[in-house]
């Protein structure tokens, strides 16, 4: 099973990926497509503000989201892209005050979301790398990420991220392979609703798996790789996820846990688990 070692060189970079809604112009509530079936208030196209978004960019029903079962709203996490996109434009300039710039602002937000998501994975991968070449290549991708996200907005929206994404995918797979998370690779990536309760799933590869409502209660998951897995409503009560690979805050926000659920240090325990 993998032993994660945080690379002190990048220990402060995680802070860049934490959401700060108070410094954002409500971008997740306007820039993205939302579907009522996914736990959002209503179906809405990208670019249309949510009906509950206030003029000061706060949510009118934020304190009622759990009661209203707005699971999509509760789970969403932008990896800090919202506040970075907002401050990428002159103070006071946003999609509401300058509608002519709205499309560009939304494009910047979506690009930064992708890049911050890649950075999240890379910062974990560099701590898992066990040879100099892999470490060097991942550090190069981290540096390239910083260069791209630091571009002027008009240059940023013109960047072709295809090559960068391919390189990130390659080295994430390399790290996963060397750490043994492919030894129990699931041939069936659709395990929707499957009951794994109490199973030994150490080093299991659940990359991009459909695991909605799967029961992982009490499972052994050390070294299990959840890169891109859809874990909505999965049961992880009484489960130790502290040594799992490539989990994100959005995944954790969407699962069902409790006080006995252990998480990797990078992730924040949802307050909704307190009463479980």
16 closest CA partner among 94, 62, 85: 85
> CA 253: distance to chain centroid?
10
Collapsing DSSP states into helix, strand and coil, what is residue 1? coil
Q: Which two tokens stand for residue 62?
A: 């934020």
Task: Give the CB-side neighbour count of residue 94, counting CA atoms within 13 A.
Answer: 20
pTM, entire model: 0.93
Task: Report DSSP state, residue 53.
Answer: B
Instruction: Give the Cα separation of 102 and 93 in Å (integer).
Output: 10
Instruction: Give the Cα separation of 167 and 76 in Å (integer).
Output: 26
> CA 238: distance to chain centroid?
23
- Three state DSSP letters for 182-238: CCEECCCCECCCCECCCCECCCEECCCCECCCCECCCCECCCCECCCCECCCCECCC
Instruction: Give the Cα separation of 141 and 262 in Å (integer).
Output: 30
> Which residues touch 216 (CB under 8 Å, ≥6 apart)?
196, 197, 201, 234, 235, 236, 239
Is 1 buried (19+), middle (13-18) or exposed (0-12) by CB count in 10 A?
A: middle
Question: In which residue are the tokens 């859809």 written?
Answer: 230
Instruction: Give the Cα separation of 275 and 240 in Å (integer).
Output: 18
Q: Apex CA 113: angle with CA 66 and CA 251, to 5°?
A: 40
Question: In which residue are the tokens 């009463």 written?
Answer: 275
Instruction: Give the Cα separation of 192 and 17 in Å (integer).
Output: 29
The pLDDT, as a whole number, for residue 184 is 52
The pLDDT, as a whole number, for residue 190 is 86
Q: Per residue of the chain (276 residues), what is the pLDDT tens digit?
A: 445 555 568 877 889 999 999 999 999 999 999 999 999 999 999 999 999 999 999 999 999 999 999 999 999 999 999 999 999 999 999 999 999 999 999 999 999 999 999 999 999 999 999 899 999 999 999 999 999 999 999 999 999 999 999 999 999 999 988 776 555 555 568 899 999 999 999 999 999 999 999 999 999 999 999 999 999 999 999 999 999 999 999 999 999 999 999 999 999 999 888 766
Q: What structural domains does the chain harbor? A: 182-276 (2.160.20.80)
Task: Report DSSP state, residue 49.
Answer: P
The pLDDT, as a whole number, for residue 160 is 94
Phi (first) and psi of residue 235, to 5 degrees: -95, 115
Q: Are 125 and 175 in contact (CB under 8 A)?
A: yes
The pLDDT, as a whole number, for residue 149 is 97
Is 128 buried (19+), middle (13-18) or exposed (0-12) by CB count in 10 A?
A: buried
């Amino acid at each position: 099973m993998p032993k994660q070692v945080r690379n002190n060189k990048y220990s402060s970079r995680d802070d860049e990926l934490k959401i700060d809604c108070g410094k954002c112009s409500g971008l997740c509530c306007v820039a993205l497509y939302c579907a009522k079936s996914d736990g959002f208030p209503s179906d809405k196209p990208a670019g249309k503000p949510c009906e509950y978004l206030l003029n000061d960019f706060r949510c009118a029903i934020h304190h009622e989201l759990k009661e209203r079962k707005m699971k999509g709203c509760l789970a969403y996490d932008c990896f800090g892209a919202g506040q970075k996109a907002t401050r990428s434009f002159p103070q006071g300039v946003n999609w509401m005050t300058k509608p002519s710039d709205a499309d560009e602002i939304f494009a910047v937000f979506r690009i930064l979301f992708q890049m911050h998501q890649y950075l999240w994975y890379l910062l974990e991968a560099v701590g898992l790398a066990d040879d100099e070449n892999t470490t060097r290549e991942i550090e190069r991708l981290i540096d390239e990420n910083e260069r791209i996200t630091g571009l002027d907005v008009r240059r940023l929206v013109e960047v072709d991220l295809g090559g960068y994404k391919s390189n990130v995918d390659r080295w994430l797979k390399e790290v996963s392979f060397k750490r043994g998370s492919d030894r129990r690779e699931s041939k069936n990536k659709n395990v929707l609703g499957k009951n794994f309760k109490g199973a030994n799933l150490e080093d299991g590869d659940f990359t991009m798996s459909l695991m909605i409502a799967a029961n992982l209660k009490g499972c052994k998951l050390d070294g299990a790789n959840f890169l891109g897995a859809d874990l909505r409503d999965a049961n992880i009560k009484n489960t130790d996820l502290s040594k799992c690979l490539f989990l994100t805050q959005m995944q954790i926000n969407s699962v069902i846990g409790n006080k006995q659920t252990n998480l990797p240090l990078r992730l924040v325990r949802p307050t909704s688990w307190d009463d479980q």
